[in-house]
Amino acid sequence: MPSNLLLTELLHALPGRPGDLSPVLELHPAVAEATGHEVSRAMLAQALNVALLGDLLARTPTAAAYLDDLRQTGARLTFDHGAMRTVDSQHMGELPRGEAAFTRILEPLGYVRAAEYPLRALRMTGRAYAHADLPEHIPQFFVSELHTDRFTCAFQQAAARITRSSRDPLTPADRRRLDRLARQGRLDLAEAAALLPSLVACFQRNHAPPALSDYEAVRHESAEMAWISTEGNAFNHATDRVASLAATTAAQRALGRPLKAKIEVSKSGRVRQTAFLADQVDRPFVDDHGRAIQRKVPGSFFEFIERDRLPGSDALDLGFDSANAQGIFKMTEAAA
């Protein structure tokens, strides 16, 4: 058996050989210490999450600075969940509509739908996916779906123009690998290493740069659709599960980092959340004359969450809250 750790080997299979974040992450021994020639679904799920966290850090300087703090102090990040946005529309080019583009990935990786959260103020639905094997240790996915049919006709037409060029990063070979993973719960290392880059590619903007006029049209009705038009299905945010949200936010405020003014508290009182404001990024657009231009827009951000145990149980409350989510989503509102 090889002495190299499977998680490291998988991450090294990615283009550009991104830095391994494992030393700064709190990882379950089943994934942190595994070696061999077979990759479990939990291992592949963890590798995907580490890669997506690395992508977010590369796009989000405030989050990267926070992680540098952890490295310097020897502290570790407990990766609670990543969040992404999808569009429930029939005009998705090569992609399945809405969350179906990602359930085809998450379910073979061992994820099961844990709960559904109506986000009525945003005309969206959020769904939490927890890992069946290690629910407290493998990050959850919070997948939100924007319902275009709840907006005006002008909005729907602009949204369709934005998303209809979407391409599908999954090849027929990738789909066969996902089918085997779903049946067997594991893949050999070579197959898993071949699949991982395609999975990562699904979590990006897979449509053409939007027309600035279409961006403005959707932004007028939905900050969330405006964000999707420039960022696509990238991680909207990633989240550190902390022992004390009050202590964490006090430390970050002392460093002058831009935090949400309010801590969101779930109805149960057991889940508390806040976040950095989204970092501003330069993104490409097309003007009315077909010329490529750049504009500064909100990118992704980093969140903090504190979870209590369920009453009479040692299990963490892994739930979310519709009001909390809608409050956190405001981090990516674009200014006029």
Residue 170 counted as domain residue: yes
pLDDT at 15 over 90: no
Domain count, the chain: 1
Tell me what the pLDDT averaged over the chain comes to. 95
* Domain harbouring 69, CATH code: 3.10.180.50
Q: What is the pLDDT of residues 41-55, one digit of tens each?
A: 999 999 999 999 999
Residue 328, in any domain of the structure: yes
Q: Looking at the domain assignment, is residue 253 inside a domain?
A: yes
- Place 335 in a pLDDT band, splitting at 50, 70 and 90: low
Q: Is residue 1 part of a domain?
A: no
Query: Which residue in this structure is represented by tokens 């935090």?
Result: 259
Q: Sorting pLDDT into bands at 50, 70 and 90, what band is 1?
A: very low
Residue 16 has pLDDT above 80, yes or no: no
Over range 169-177, report the average pLDDT. Answer: 98
Burial state string for 57-88 with b = 16 or more CB within 10 A and e = fewer than 16: bebbebbeebbeeeeeeeeebbbbbbbbbbbb
* pLDDT higher than 70, residue 162: yes
92-109 average pLDDT score: 98
Query: Does residue 232 lie within any of the structural domains?
Result: yes
Instruction: Give pLDDT, residue 2.
Output: 41
Instruction: State which residues form the domain around 191.
Output: 6-332
pLDDT at 248 over 70: yes
Torsion of CA 134, 301, 103, 24, to 10 degrees: -30
Q: Is 120 a member of any domain?
A: yes
CA dist., res. 102 & res. 202, Å (int):
8
Share of the chain above pLDDT 70, in %: 97
The 10s digit of each residue's pLDDT in 24-74 is 999 999 999 999 999 999 999 999 999 999 999 999 999 999 999 999 999
In a domain, 218, yes or no: yes
Given a cut of 70, is residue 17 above it in pLDDT?
no
pLDDT digits (tens, 9 = 90+) for 259-278: 999 999 999 999 999 999 99
CB atoms within 10 A of CB 230: 22
218-242 pLDDT, tens digit each:
999 999 999 999 999 999 999 999 9
Question: How far, in Å, CA of 228 to CA of 144, rounded?
Answer: 11
Q: How many helices (H) and strands (E) does the chain have?
A: 12, 12
Handedness of CA 332, 153, 167, 100 (dihedral sign): positive
In a domain, 185, yes or no: yes
H or E stretch covering 201: helix 189-202
User: What confidence category does residue 19 fall into, taking pLDDT thresholds of 50, 70 and 90?
Assistant: low
* pTM for this prediction: 0.96
Contact 287, 212 (CB under 8 A): yes
As a whole-number percent, the residues of the chain with pLDDT over 90 amount to: 92
pLDDT over 70 (residue 282): yes
